[in-house]
Amino acid sequence: MKRLTLAIIIVSLFASCLPLEYSTPPAREALANRLLIFGASGRIGGHIVDEALIRGYRITAVSRDAPRLKDLADRVEVTTADILDRKRLAELVSQHDAIIVAVGGKPVDSNPENYIVPRAAGSLIDVLESGNSASVRLLFVGNVYTLIFEDNKTLLELGRVAESHPNYAMFHGHQLALDMFRRSRDVDWTVASPPNGLRLNGRTGDVRWGGEQLLRDEDGTPSTISPEDFAFAVLEELQRGNYIRRQFNAAR
Ligand SMILES: NC(=O)c1ccc[n+]([C@@H]2O[C@H](COP(=O)([O-])OP(=O)(O)OC[C@H]3O[C@@H](n4cnc5c(N)ncnc54)[C@H](OP(=O)(O)O)[C@@H]3O)[C@@H](O)[C@H]2O)c1
């Protein structure tokens, strides 16, 4: 009996020494642990998986062909899904607290509406507005072409992308997706847009933050970042929530 009393006293003393957030974790924080990542087989999505692993998330990595993710299978759950399959998307979303989407690829034709990015945005908005997934946070990887470049205009608004450009549908497709998110009603979205490409290497965790205004270096050159630091910024934003229902860019 004496031993039991002593044990209770020790446990109570230990618990009272813990900071409040450790002794009684906020429900939202505890819930924000299960992360669904689309594009895990891609360049940016692969770095996002690595960064999420560093931060201890429970990850489900998605590919349209899960065996492509075999190198990750010992560290994360891998699954096959097409983001355009709304039924399957809804099933996955219902099992997670946050979604990070880094889908891309070559445009199928020159029509931006046919590009995977706005089609994926449409699918996500439909599912997230369906009612059952209202509290699920969404981070969606965007593109430099939707950031304010100069004169309060984006590169697209400045007419810097000719219709004959091979990536015309991709760049305009990102704008369509951003417009769709802006029009959405109940989606906790954030679009994370790399600034001037991903031209650096390595994870430093030393990033500068910008909203929609493209970040520039001291000499005025559009700034850049490494894929590792971009992934760092995406996961930081997931934790900080500074840009909910907004676009941001981050640079080294
Ligand atoms: N790479 C860059 O330098 C860069 C710079 C700025 C912005 N971005 C933007 O960042 C995004 C990702 O770029 P990335 O270079 O990482 O792309 P990536 O290497 O070409 O990978 C594309 C990813 O999209 C996934 N995907 C395509 N269609 C899908 C679908 N229907 N359902 C589920 N997944 C699908 C692919 O997965 P599976 O094939 O395995 O299904 C793949 O993992 C793009 O939107 C791109 O425009 C990229």
pLDDT at 82 over 70: yes
Q: Give residue 159's region: left, alpha or beta (phi > 0; psi -120 to 50).
A: left
Q: Which of 43, 161, 174, 247 to mutate to test the pocket of ligand 1 (most atoms within 8 A of CB)?
A: 43
Look at residue 149 and tell me if it is in a domain: yes
Residue 122's contacts (CB-CB under 8 Å, 6 or more residues apart) are 180
Phi, psi of 59 (to 5 degrees): -110, 140
What's the CATH code of the domain at 188?
A: 3.40.50.720
Look at residue 7 and tell me if it is in a domain: no
At 217-243, the pLDDT tens digits run 999 999 999 999 999 999 999 999 999
Band (pLDDT 50/70/90 cuts) for residue 79 is very high
Residue 69 Cα: closest atom of ligand 1? 40
Domain range for 81 is 29-251
Look at residue 9 and tell me if it is in a domain: no
Q: Which of 103, 106, 156, 175 to mutate to test the pocket of ligand 1 (most atoms within 8 A of CB)?
A: 103
How far apart are the C-alpha atoms of 199 and 144, rounded to whole Å?
A: 13
Residue nearest to atom 36 of ligand 1 (CA): 39
Look at residue 23 and tell me if it is in a domain: no
CA 135 to ligand 1 centroid distance, Å: 25
Look at residue 18 and tell me if it is in a domain: no
Look at residue 40 and tell me if it is in a domain: yes
Residue 194 Cα: closest atom of ligand 1? 6
Sign of the Cα torsion 56, 116, 128, 238 reads positive
At 93-105, the pLDDT tens digits run 999 999 999 999 9
DSSP 3-state percent helix, strand, coil across the chain (nearest 5)? 40, 20, 40
Residue nearest to atom 45 of ligand 1 (CA): 104
Within 13 Å of residue 77, how many CA atoms lie on the same side as its CB? 14
